Amino acid sequence: MTVSLFDQFMSPTYLGVPLLAIALTFPWIFFPAPTLRWLHNRLLVLQSWFINRFTQQILTPLSRGGHSWALMLTSLVVFLMTLNILGLLPYTFTPTTQLSLNLALAFPLWLATLLIGLRNQPTAALGHLLPEGTPTLLIPILIVIETISLLIRPLALGVRLTANLTAGHLLMQLTSTATYVLLTTMPPVAALTMVLLFLLTLLEIAVAMIQAYVFVLLMSLYLQENV
121-153, pLDDT tens digit by residue? 888 777 777 777 778 788 888 888 888 988 899
What is the number of structural domains in the chain?
1
Residue 107, number of CB atoms within 10 A of its CB: 15
Residue type, 103: L
**Regions in the chain scoring below 50 on pLDDT:** 1-2
In angstroms, the CA 77 to CA 68 distance is 16
CA distances from 28 to 31, 45, 86 (A): 6, 17, 12
Residue 19 confidence (pLDDT): 73
Residue 35 confidence (pLDDT): 67
Residue 1 confidence (pLDDT): 39
Residue 2 confidence (pLDDT): 46
Which residues, including other chains, have CB under 8 Å from residue 24's CB and lie 6 or more apart?
Answer: 83, 95, 101
pTM for the predicted model, two decimal places: 0.83
Q: CA Rg, the chain, in Å?
A: 22
Residue 3 confidence (pLDDT): 55
Domain of 185? 5-224
